[in-house]
């Protein structure tokens, strides 16, 4: 099959040449025989295919087979009209079917035409049209179902891509079959016209050439009917194959197996009844007694055989039941030990938000959340498990990270959340609440109040957006807790595809995956993106031989990512910051204790409290005038001061001088002192 594509291309060109160039009768007989064999092959392939995608080439094959048959029809017509001879195959078909009676042969030919054109082709054409329409209409729902399975963890990304591709292939196939059935219909019409032309033109040519009328009619009718049969029988086979393909429903076996199983395997009692009725008709009516008794016995025997087979199948599940009993043993609880990384549980009143059949799009929003966080933080967010929890209030939902509840909220399914961005005017009627993601005051309003709220300048969002925003913020806040060693390995393997030298230098020669994971976790804890894994790994390669202190390595990485950090916090090349008094920095540096397991800050409680109080006062002055509080420190102090201020808030941004690009104009607007 090395040159199969070339052979197929030459074959199609050859089909076209057959239409134009006269061919010898001997070769024509061979080509007609090949046509019959090819038609049988197509019929059997359509019967044994378990899925239409196994024969996705069928529409194109239908066109090629039709073109080949019409080309042969033209060649036989040329032979009939020029030499009154179209080869042995045509003559044999004519004599065998007609049996020296042209009228009978012509009637049989017409019956075949009617069966193919009126019954099979018209039905297949209609089924193909409906299948194409339904397949295209069902595509959006199937795509959403795949996304739902992906988000719930039932399938992997690779399986989801395969299913989406299969859906597209199904749509393409049925769309192509809708058009391809027109070829079969046209072929049947062409067969009728060619037959009429052959008979009429043959009679005219025969009579004008001096042949007696009876002899001309006998000769040309025999050849025409033979030619019609030798072309229409393959056409009938291919029409039947087309009907089988477009009428096949979803199944896991071929047509023969389905036919036997569904007609006989589960209906042994019906076979007994049929056998009894047939035997009764043979005994008490004038119908052939022996024939009907034998037929009745066959049906009874089939019923007995099928019933015996069903009993054997029932005995097999006993072993399966023993396996189920095995699972019920107390020690078989390993499946219960798995803890999902992220869970979203909601009350029964919020189920429509996640139910695709009820128009819910929460699953689609979760897909977008995973993409957004991958772009912003470079983190592969684990699958979010959605569960309904009847123990919750109907409108309540909770978010769990590794089995622990970290946040919760309440939304009203048929309401909208209206928030005042500071420019809202007028009062709205609704339920007072607190926006769960950012803790802002808001109101749940009815849909009738929505337009009014928007006119007043309020920000109005729907319930799925509220939940999606809340979930996004929780994932960002707890990103450091979501990245594990397996996730880090996936990130490293992704880098290794394009930058193998970087990865091989760092892991595992310099640092282990666990140590890299701690560095990445430290970065995510302060909302620093780890998307630029190449730069991070190169920095670890540079300093990993100097120190294995992951906290110190994190500071080196942050300094290497100064461009990203500057772009994240600096606007218009100017940065207003709060600085630390030199005395405060000196106290912190002198209080750093280093051990084999790392370093930590050891401050007197009273000193630490004074530093925190002064920090809080300075930060409050900035926030009161709308400034973002950013504290700038010496590189050696940054990490320890950040950990100290986490007692106040985790949202305080602490940067070092080395993390800001030299081109930025830094302006001190406050100072933390003792």
State whether 309 and 371 are in the same domain: no
472: left (phi over 0), alpha (psi -120 to 50) or beta: alpha
Q: Residue 412 belongs to a domain with what CATH number?
A: 3.40.30.60
Report yes or no: 303 and 268 within 8 Å, Cβ to Cβ. yes
Closest CA to 493 of 476, 510, 513, 479: 513
Beta bridge partners of 419: 442, 459
Domain of 184, in residue numbers:
4-254
3-state secondary structure of 396: strand
pLDDT at 317: 52
> What does the alpha-carbon distance between residue 309 and residue 332 come to, in Å, rounded to a whole number?
34
Q: How many CB atoms lie within 10 A of CB 327?
A: 9
Report yes or no: 77 and 194 within 8 Å, Cβ to Cβ. yes
Report yes or no: 444 and 462 within 8 Å, Cβ to Cβ. no
pLDDT at 508: 85
Q: What is the DSSP letter of 195?
A: H
pLDDT at 553: 93
Residue 31 lies in a domain: yes
Closest CA to 646 of 615, 603, 606, 605: 615
Q: Residue 552 belongs to a domain with what CATH number?
A: 1.10.8.540
State whether 81 and 123 are in the same domain: yes
pLDDT at 659: 93
Q: Give the residue from 254, 288, 323 where a domain finishes.
A: 254
> What does the alpha-carbon distance between residue 623 and residue 62 come to, in Å, rounded to a whole number?
74
Count of domains forming the chain: 5
Non-local (6+) Cβ contacts of 627 within 8 A are 576, 669
Non-local (6+) Cβ contacts of 480 within 8 A are 521, 522, 524, 525
pTM above the 0.75 mark? Answer: no
Closest CA to 381 of 474, 464, 480, 482: 482
Q: Residue 601 belongs to a domain with what CATH number?
A: 3.40.50.12790
**Which two tokens mark 6?**
């070339």
State whether 236 and 270 are in the same domain: no
Q: What are phi and psi of 671, to 5 degrees?
A: -145, 140
Report yes or no: 433 and 407 within 8 Å, Cβ to Cβ. no
pLDDT at 528: 94
State whether 358 and 459 are in the same domain: yes
pLDDT at 348: 86
Residue 648 lies in a domain: yes
**Which two tokens mark 445?**
């309003």
State whether 214 and 287 are in the same domain: no
State whether 89 and 237 are in the same domain: yes
pLDDT at 312: 59
Residue 664 lies in a domain: yes
Residue indicated by tokens 């104009």: 665
State whether 280 and 237 are in the same domain: no
Q: How many CB atoms lie within 10 A of CB 243?
A: 21
Residue 334 lies in a domain: no
State whether 623 and 532 are in the same domain: no
CA of 33: how far to CAs of 21, 230, 231, 327, 348, in Å? 19, 9, 10, 61, 68
Residue 433 lies in a domain: yes
State whether 535 and 666 are in the same domain: no
State whether 176 and 58 are in the same domain: yes
> What does the alpha-carbon distance between residue 66 and residue 189 come to, in Å, rounded to a whole number?
12
Q: Give the residue from 532, 560, 588 where a domain finishes.
A: 560
pLDDT at 373: 92
Specify burial of residue 219 (Cβ count, 10 A radius: 0-12, 13-18, 19+). Answer: buried
State whether 115 and 238 are in the same domain: yes
pLDDT at 57: 80
Give rounded-to-5 percent helix, strand, coil for the chain: 65, 10, 25
Q: What are phi and psi of 656, to 5 degrees?
A: -105, 165
State whether 271 and 378 are in the same domain: no
Residue 328 lies in a domain: no
Residue 259 lies in a domain: no
Where are the strands (E) in 334-436, listed by range? 342-346, 384-388, 396-401, 404-410, 415-419, 431-434
**Over the chain (674 residues), what is each successive 10-residue block's mean pLDDT?**
72 83 83 85 80 77 82 81 76 68 70 71 69 70 73 74 81 74 73 74 74 72 74 76 67 61 66 83 83 84 74 53 53 66 90 81 87 91 88 92 93 90 82 90 91 89 92 93 92 91 90 93 94 94 90 93 92 88 90 79 88 89 80 91 86 91 89 86
Closest CA to 474 of 375, 343, 653, 380: 343
What is the DSSP annotation of 243-308? HHHHH--S-SS-HHHHHHIIIIIT-HHHHHHHHHHHHHHHHHSSS-HHHHHHHHHHHHHHHHHHHH
């Amino acid at each position: 099959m090395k040159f199969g594509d070339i052979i197929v291309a030459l074959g199609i060109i050859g089909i076209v040449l057959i239409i134009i160039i006269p061919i010898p009768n001997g070769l024509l007989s061979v080509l007609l025989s090949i046509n019959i064999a090819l038609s049988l092959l197509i019929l059997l392939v359509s019967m044994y295919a378990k899925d239409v995608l196994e024969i996705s080439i069928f529409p194109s094959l239908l066109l090629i087979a039709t073109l080949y048959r019409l080309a042969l029809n033209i060649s036989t017509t040329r032979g009939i009209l020029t030499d009154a001879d179209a080869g042995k195959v045509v003559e044999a078909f004519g004599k065998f079917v007609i049996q020296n009676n042209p009228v009978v042969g012509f009637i049989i030919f017409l019956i075949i035409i009617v069966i193919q054109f009126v019954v099979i082709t018209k039905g297949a054409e209609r089924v193909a049209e409906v299948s194409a329409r339904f397949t295209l209409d069902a595509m959006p729902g199937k795509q959403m179902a795949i996304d739902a399975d992906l988000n719930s963890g039932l399938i992997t990304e690779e399986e989801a891509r395969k299913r989406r591709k299969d859906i597209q292939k199904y749509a393409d196939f049925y769309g192509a079959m809708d058009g391809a059935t027109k070829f079969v219909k046209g072929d049947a019409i062409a067969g009728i016209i060619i037959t009429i032309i052959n008979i009429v033109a043959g009679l005219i040519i025969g009579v004008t050439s001096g042949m007696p009328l009876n002899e001309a009619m006998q000769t040309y009718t025999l050849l025409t009917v033979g030619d019609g049969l030798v072309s229409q029988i393959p056409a009938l086979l291919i029409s039947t194959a087309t009907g089988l393909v477009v009428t096949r429903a979803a199944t896991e076996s071929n047509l023969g197996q389905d036919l036997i199983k569904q007609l006989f395997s589960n209906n042994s009692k019906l076979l007994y009844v049929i056998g009894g009725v047939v035997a009764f008709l043979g005994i008490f009516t004038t119908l052939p007694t022996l024939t009907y008794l034998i037929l009745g016995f066959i049906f009874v025997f089939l019923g007995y055989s099928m019933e015996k087979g069903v009993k054997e199948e029932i005995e097999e599940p006993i072993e399966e039941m023993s396996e189920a009993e095995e699972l019920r043993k107390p020690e078989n609880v390993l499946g219960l030990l798995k803890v999902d990384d992220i869970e979203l549980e909601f009350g029964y009143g919020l189920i429509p938000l996640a139910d695709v059949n009820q128009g819910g799009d929460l699953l689609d929003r979760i897909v977008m959340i995973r993409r957004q966080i991958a772009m912003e933080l470079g983190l592969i967010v684990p699958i979010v498990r959605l569960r309904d929890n009847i123990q919750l209030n109907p409108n309540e939902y909770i978010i769990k990270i590794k089995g622990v509840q970290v946040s919760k909220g309440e939304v009203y399914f048929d309401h909208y959340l209206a928030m005042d961005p500071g420019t809202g005017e007028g009062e709205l009627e609704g339920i007072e609440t607190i926006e769960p993601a950012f803790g802002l005051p808001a109101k749940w309003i009815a849909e009738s109040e929505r337009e009014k709220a928007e006119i007043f300048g309020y920000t109005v969002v729907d319930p799925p957006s509220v939940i999606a925003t809340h979930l996004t913020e929780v994932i960002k806040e707890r990103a450091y807790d979501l990245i594990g060693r397996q996730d880090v390995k996936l990130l490293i393997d992704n880098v290794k595809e394009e930058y193998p030298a970087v990865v091989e230098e760092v892991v595992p020669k310099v640092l282990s995956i666990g140590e890299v994971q701690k560095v990445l976790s430290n970065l995510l804890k302060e909302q620093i993106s780890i998307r630029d894994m190449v730069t991070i790994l190169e920095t670890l390669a540079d300093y990993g031989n100097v120190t294995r202190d992951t906290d110190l390595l994190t500071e080196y990485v942050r300094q290497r990512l100064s461009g990203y950090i500057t772009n994240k916090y600096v606007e218009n090349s100017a940065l207003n910051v709060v600085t630390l008094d030199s005395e405060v920095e000196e106290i912190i540096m002198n209080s750093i204790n280093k051990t084999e397991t790392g370093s930590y800050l050891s401050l007197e409680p009273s000193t630490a409290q004074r530093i925190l109080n002064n920090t809080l006062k300075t930060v409050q002055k900035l926030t009161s005038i709308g400034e973002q509080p950013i504290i700038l420190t010496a590189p050696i102090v940054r990490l320890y001061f950040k950990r100290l201020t986490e007692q106040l808030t985790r949202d305080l941004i602490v940067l070092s001088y080395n993390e800001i690009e030299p081109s930025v104009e830094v302006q001190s607007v406050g100072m933390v002192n003792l």
